[in-house]
Amino acid sequence: MKRKTFIGGPEGQVISAWLNSLAPERRDPILRLVRLAGKFPLLEDTRTEIAKEVADTMRRWKVGTYPQIVNTESGGYTLTWREDWNKKVPARQVQAFFAALKLIEWGLLARVKQCARPECAKWFFGVLPTMRYHDKQCQQVVEARDEQRRERRAQAMRNYRKKKKEKKQRTVAA
């Protein structure tokens, strides 16, 4: 069965994989970008901070592109653009950084989140902006512990059984 893909999904997976590989206390420009983007839609305008973080990282990593002319078999030339960066920076980190830039452009970086289950805290790309858990299992564990939710569900079931019983009595009486 073919899995559905969503806009930003592949980029979000690259970023999530990078963030999940980090030590929790590590300072990382991608982590800072994700945290800044997570604040923006709800709390504050962080666009200038995001732009500064991107510019600082590009300067520190010496990220750039340069043209390269390649001979073709037909005797002509092909111009290609190559990316270059400080080789002390891991390629996976640079790949995650460029994926973050794409998600920033598309307004989707805030969907890279940490799982809301405290024991888990895995990074994931939320296909929907409301997603809070990286999988169903984490969601079920958290919801099972929630006393208010448990009480609401119990009340809903009592109402459901009551309506079902009343409907049954009406059909028997008729």
Query: What was the pLDDT predicted at 158?
Result: 94
Using DSSP's 3-state secondary structure scheme, residue 128 falls into coil
Judged by DSSP in three states, 104 sits in: helix
77-112: per-residue pLDDT in tens? 888 877 778 888 888 888 999 999 999 999 899 899
Non-local CB neighbours of 154 within 8 Å, separated by 6+ positions: none
Regions in the chain scoring below 70 on pLDDT: 1-2, 24-25, 40-44, 174
Tokens of 30: 């991608």
The pLDDT of residue 115: 92
CB atoms within 10 A of CB 18: 22
Count of helices and strands (H, E) across the chain? 6, 4
Length of the chain: 174
